Amino acid sequence: MQRRKFVAAAALSSAAAAAPPAKPAIDGGTPVRATPLRAGYWGSQYYDEKERAELMDVLEGQSPFRWYGTKPPTKVLQFEKEFAARMQTKYALAVTSGTAALQCAMAALEIGPGDEVILPAWTWHSCFNAVVLAGALPVCVEIDESFNIDPNEIEKHITAQTKAILAVHLQGNPCNLERVIAIAKKHRLRVLEDCAQSVGASYKGRPVGSMGDIGIYSLQLNKTITAGEGGAVVTSDAALFERASRFHDLGGFRAPHQQFTGEAKLDWFFGTNFRLNEFSGGVLLAQTRKLDQIVGAVRGNARSVYAGIRDLKNVKYRLLHDPDGELGTGVFIDFGTKERCDRFLAAMKAENVPAAKPGGSVILPTLPHVIEKKTIHPNWPSFTSARGKAIRYGAETCPRTIDILGRFGGVLMDPKYTRKDIDDVIAALRKVVPAMV
């Protein structure tokens, strides 16, 4: 750039920075955008001829079943191989959903009646349900400002019956896994990583899901990559893989999976059917090959937003235990009180850059059916033990979780946001946030 032009540009941008921010739309100013910006679903926006070709292979080959058919099926098996490689684990098992994956993980870890599993108070229904459906007792723990389980709150909930910690990485942000794993080691507990909302995220350089004893992912529409529905279990432990595979397929261990581990080591036990079909396997294979591209895009957008508002004073962000590894699902800010956060949400909506509360999960202990321990049968073993009868859920058991989720709000990211979209997000935040924090 010519020096004269550069000086002029610099003067202009410093003048813009010094100028008072434009009037927020909620106070009668002009909205940043004429029409609302909307974050979309991620993986499905990347569907193209790759997914089409995979689907056509299955259709034309007339081979929709994963284990056999007119033409030897390959899609689910290939997906499992490539997914395991991407997650840096020895084995991956494809299943019909993230919820199914959690149930397989429970079976793999031999969790059952009399056992207790520690999980965050804020997470998706599936986590609590999988523990109950295994006949075990869910024990909820408060979250920290990463919106994930607070390691400082775990040990007080450990009993002689505790068998595992469900370490959930919510809304793209890994939990404090180092501390969780250290606590688990000290008390000889298993760690199950639920990476449903963080497919493709990493923690201290390693993919989430690869550091606990076993990991699960959801491949449902709302997650990073998708076939509408789908899930996966990963582990590097051959025995855990064999148990998960057997559970997902009625108790048997098929030859292709025996080839993964070298041999079958266990006998049949009672399992269910969570097998994935070849259509879904083909789509997920194509999507797995795009995972890094999608993660790179969404992460890049979140980083641009952070950079665009970095100079705003007194802004406290969501706690990131590994800023390099998080997905960048959203950029969340602490507004101190629920009232201020609600005003932020209303002000952003007026700018046509809608903001959101933390989402995609529920505060489990506050749900009526959790408080009432509503199982499918009155003698369901989760709540018939002395401890199961004594345990109390309810809002009073998780005040800090409720407080944190009440006062944080932020903008959600989309991997396909344009530079203009990102600039609008930044412009809206620069108008609205200084008035709120």
Ligand X SMILES: *Cc1c(COP(=O)(O)O)cnc(C)c1O
| Catalytic residue IDs | 223
CB-nearest residue to ligand X: 98
Show the tokens assigned to 281: 């396997």
CB of 288 to ligand X, least distance (A): 16
225 or 432, CB closer to ligand X?
Answer: 225
CB of 197 to ligand X, least distance (A): 4
CB of 199 to ligand X, least distance (A): 10
Residue 288 to residue 227: CA distance in whole angstroms: 11
What is the number of residues in the chain?
Answer: 437
Is the CB of residue 173 less than 8 Å from the CB of residue 144?
A: no
CB of 148 to ligand X, least distance (A): 10
| 148 forms part of the interface with ligand X (CB under 6 A) | no
Per-residue contact flags (x/-) with ligand X for residues 76 to 115, judged by CB under 6 A: ---------------------xxx----------------
Residues 6+ apart with CB under 8 A from 13: none
Residue 353 to residue 151: CA distance in whole angstroms: 34
328 or 360, CB closer to ligand X?
Answer: 360
| 196 forms part of the interface with ligand X (CB under 6 A) | yes
CB of 315 to ligand X, least distance (A): 27
| Near ligand X by CB under 6 A: residue from 74, 162, 202, 220 | 220
CB of 172 to ligand X, least distance (A): 11
120 or 381, CB closer to ligand X?
Answer: 120
Please name the amino acid found at residue 250.
L
Per-residue contact flags (x/-) with ligand X for residues 348 to 387, judged by CB under 6 A: ------------x---------------------------
Residue 212 to residue 197: CA distance in whole angstroms: 16
Instruction: List phi, psi (to 5°) of 8.
Output: -65, -45
| 210 forms part of the interface with ligand X (CB under 6 A) | no
Tokens 């800090």 found at: 400
Residue 164 to residue 169: CA distance in whole angstroms: 16
24 or 43, CB closer to ligand X?
Answer: 43
Residue 213 to residue 308: CA distance in whole angstroms: 39
| 197 forms part of the interface with ligand X (CB under 6 A) | yes
Per-residue contact flags (x/-) with ligand X for residues 272 to 291, judged by CB under 6 A: --------------------
Per-residue contact flags (x/-) with ligand X for residues 126 to 145, judged by CB under 6 A: xx------------------
164 or 168, CB closer to ligand X?
Answer: 168
Show the tokens assigned to 186: 């000290």
| Near ligand X by CB under 6 A: residue from 79, 91, 122, 124 | 124
| Nearest partner of 91 among 222, 205, 273, 236, judged by Cα | 236
| 168 forms part of the interface with ligand X (CB under 6 A) | yes
- The β-bridge relationship of strands 116-120 and 137-141 is parallel
| 231 forms part of the interface with ligand X (CB under 6 A) | yes
37 or 166, CB closer to ligand X?
Answer: 166
Question: DSSP strand E in 116-241: where?
Answer: 116-120, 122-123, 137-141, 162-168, 190-194, 202-203, 206-207, 214-218, 231-235
Residue 27 to residue 18: CA distance in whole angstroms: 21
How many residues make contact with ligand X (CB under 6 A)? Answer: 15
Tokens 């709540």 found at: 383
298 or 348, CB closer to ligand X?
Answer: 298
126 or 280, CB closer to ligand X?
Answer: 126
3-state secondary structure 349-381: HHCCCCCECCCCCEEHHHCHHHHCCCCCCCCCH
By three-state DSSP, how is residue 9 classified? helix
Residue 323 to residue 369: CA distance in whole angstroms: 36
| Near ligand X by CB under 6 A: residue from 54, 142, 150, 194 | 194
Q: Which of residues 233-272 bind ligand X (CB under 6 A)?
A: none
Q: Largest alpha-carbon pair distance within the chain? A: 82
CA angle 269, 273, 276 (to 5 degrees): 130
Applying CB under 6 A, the residues found at the interface with ligand X are 97-99, 123-124, 126-127, 168, 194, 196-197, 218, 220, 231, 360
